[in-house]
Amino acid sequence: MSRAVLSIGSNIGDRWEHLQSVVNDLAPHIVSLSPVYRTPPWGPVEQDDFLNAIVIVDAPRVDARGWLARGQELENAAERVREVRWGPRTLDVDVVTVQHVVSDDPVLTLPHPRAHERAFVLIPWLAADPSASLAGTPVAELVAALPADEREAVTVIEQRLELP
């Protein structure tokens, strides 16, 4: 079993369609899907807000590197360009965690090294899996520990991504 938590986001182009393309591609493996959230950009680059969601997937034959490769394929299909770190992007697919995998590999560090401090990851993740934990700490506790202004800046969108 290879259950993974993927964080997806987009802030340029047809943001909704970019997120929906991930759901369409991964549909046979989706265990849970969060609502979509409007989130402010994270990092020092001035840019538009993101649309973010969490996709929890499971596929017995896909390992952690397989999920990373799949995410990069989806980013490439959305014509993602990597010019500026934390810059705007058509699609970002991050592997947040893979069940029973801990890795300090610089190509794929698991769990994602900054997931515990990012409201745009934690809040959708909690919605997709209220019993989730990250490195032994319940995600609900991690959300509660975030500054109030960061939690409040992550706002749910009523429209939902659709499984095909």
Domain assignment present for 163? no
* Tokens read off for 110: 């698991």
Map residue 15 onto helix, strand or coil.
helix
Q: With the C-alpha atoms ordered 160, 26, 79, 46, is the resulting torsion angle positive or negative?
A: positive
Instruction: Kindly name the residue from 38, 94, 129, 151 that is annotated as catalytic.
Output: 94
Looking up residue 33, the CATH number of its domain turns out to be 3.30.70.560
Q: Which residues pair with 54 in a beta bridge?
A: 7
80 is annotated as an active-site residue:
yes
Is 92 noted as a catalytic residue in this protein?
yes
Question: Which entry of 3, 15, 70, 80 is annotated as an active-site residue?
Answer: 80
Q: Among 15, 70, 92, 118, which one carries the catalytic annotation?
A: 92
State the catalytic residue, choosing from 3, 15, 70, 89: 89
Tell me the pLDDT tens digit for each residue of 2-14.
899 999 999 999 9
Q: What is the pLDDT of residues 32-64, one digit of tens each?
A: 999 999 999 877 878 899 999 999 999 999 999
Asked whether residue 161 is assigned to any structural domain, the reply reads no
Q: Is the peptide bond before 111 cis (omega within 30 degrees of 0)?
A: yes
In a domain, 162, yes or no: no
How many structural domains are present in the chain?
A: 1
Q: How far apart are the first and last CA of the chain?
A: 23
Confirm whether 148 is domain-assigned.
Answer: yes
Domain that holds residue 85: 3-156
125 belongs to a structural domain: yes
